[in-house]
Structure 1
């Protein structure tokens, strides 16, 4: 760390520590908490301030070479031009060596730049590229490898075909692994100082809905870089990742992206298409393409190119680069927030406002059948939990026998019309006719009751 950076670091640390110390209570626990918080905030501040600080380039670039993949367009094309201008021997790997990008690159740069045919998904082409670079290097040293080749797509998990997952993983992850393993002996053979640079993405740190295939491949690439950095430390070879956000490069061509969405949709099964519906698919495309229009413009590509150059020829390269101040702050905040908060933010950002067709249908059915189980299509049995206990019911009042009146003569009740056999536990005395005194007693009792 230079004296200027050290002084700036100490100054920022002292200022943050002082502010936090004023608000802290006495005691060693509070003191430790203040120190830890100050260190964290200082790290965030330094990550942000580095974008405004001057960068120094290595002085001994003579005799150094670099191999770059994906130089047809975008970041790779710009990096090749800048490194060629600095005097390095550049081997520009191009998927289409006879294409317009490769031709203009070779025309605009010096004779030290060599276009190398390289499809990172083909082991034979990568091996041929190693043989060509080894033959042309002679006494020069392969100082660095820049894994820049990549592809992009947008599609939700259920529509995205396995072929598309395989395609992105093959280029973005296995392509970087294949090229690194092939060229690493050339970088390592010249002793300490060699570098491996891998262009990843912030999508490899947090996954955006609709970018599962891309995020999976970039997340795996970052993991590969982390492992390689720790393994190559014993050889003095450093490994660096550059993780940009969204930039308007040819990889984000709307025509290409709409074509991939259409292809994935047609390849999905009828059940998937009916579940989501064409309205949801169309709104997904509109939502996502409008989000991509908010990407940083092509005029800001230099932010990524500057970080790649610093990783290749800078005097103090960083392990991880996040281009632009906005990208640095966004990455720091997103990694500090709870998962549920991040999920909510990203869903609102990219998911269509209209739910899939199956969800709409289910909601409509529930509105029409509020008390019906959607699985069994039956109304649930209503049970009484706070009610009178259900005891065994007593027998009903005996009915009159057929053809016999239930009541007798006026002035008293008669059992002539009662089916005695239907009444349980009736004694023989109860079945006898009432006497006159009994009838009189009964009459008196009835009057009292009335």
Structure 2
């Protein structure tokens, strides 16, 4: 049973909602974009790679949905501002934003190159800051909206040696999101976060590891005995964005099968 089914007697409907998903060219971002489109939203998928974004659009359109691909560098404030303005000019408003674009690095603190630290923070933390900065401005003009930021269970909830930069960047996303939630709720804008653990994406595979080998490892490492499915995280994001979650403000929904419990 999905989170949406558990939280509501009927599936959330986003018919007519204008929805932006960053990092929408693959993995969680693609799955979330498809989920919103299946519920009737018009979806704008954004990211650096035009080819993967167009593939997401084709998948949505093949199911009868409406989507558009726009390339963006989330670390460039002018680029992000242009993205949001383009959406507002074309559709009149921005109702929902899912800030999912992110990157990963591995290295112990004493050995991590400073350039890697900077790169991870620019994408994972500054990228979310810039996205919210411009999204909130547009949503305030429209009278409200919803933002869901994708963080990680590694950060505010769990630490792993070798992932210090990633953990710090994602913990910052959680803190930033909660602060913005308090600042914006009076304007009719809800900000929440989801923090996935290992899900069925390439990021959860160790170098050279097969899906079957990952399954064996997860049986030993994760209390739930498996990775999460993309449907499960999509359901959680859609619920947080739905009217049924109207009293959820500044929350960080951890989806990791009990790994950080």
TM-score by length of 1: 0.50
- Tell whether the 8 Å contact from 1:117 to 1:125 is kept in structure 2 after alignment: no
| Cα distance in 2 for residues equivalent to 1:292 and 1:198 | 30
- Could you tell me how far apart the structure 2 residues matched to 1:231 and 1:180 are? 12
Other-structure match for 1:312:
241
Q: Which residue of 1 aligns with 2:56?
A: 105
CA-CA distance at 1:250 after TM superposition: 2.8
Give deviations 1:226-277, integer Å, cap 9, x for gaps: 111111121121111101112241334645xx9xxxxxxxxxxxxxxxxxxx
Instruction: Tell me the secondary structure at the aligned position of residue 225 of structure 1.
Output: helix
Residues 298 and 136 (structure 1), Cα distance of their counterparts in 2 relative to 1, 3 Å cut: farther
Is this contact kept in 2: 1:243–1:321, CA < 8 A?
yes
| 2:233 is aligned with 1:251 | no
Query: Within the alignment, does 1:176 sit opposite 2:128 as a pair?
Result: yes
In structure 1, how many angstroms separate the alpha carbons of the residues matched to 2:22 and 2:182?
Answer: 23
Aligned residues: 244
Q: Which runs of 5+ in 1 are unaligned?
A: 1-49, 259-288, 333-450
Greater relative contact order (CA < 8 Å, ≥ 6 in sequence) = 2
Larger helix percent: 1
Task: Show the counterpart of 2:72.
Answer: 118
* Structure 1 equivalent of residue 98 of structure 2: 146
Counterpart of 1:82 (choices 6, 21, 35) is 35
Secondary structure of 2:81's counterpart equals helix
TM-score, normalised to structure 2, is 0.83
Relative to its length, the structure with more strand (as a share) is 2
Q: Contact 2:96 / 2:147 at 8 angstroms: preserved in 1?
A: yes
Pairs within 5 Å for 1:26-45: none
Supply the RMSD in Å over aligned alpha carbons: 2.8
> In terms of Rg, which structure is larger?
1
Matched, 1:135 2:89: yes
Structure 1 residues 172 and 323: CA distance shift in structure 2, 3 A = same
SS at match of 1:145: strand
Say whether the 8 Å CA contact 2:199–2:228 is kept in structure 1.
no
Cα 1:187/1:208, change in 2 over 3 Å: same
**Cα gap change, 1:186 to 1:52, in 2 (>3 Å):** closer
Per-residue deviation, residues 118-175 of structure 1 (Å, max 9, x unmatched): 121122321221232122113xx41111110111122111111111111111111100
CA distance in 1, matches of 2:15, 2:4: 27
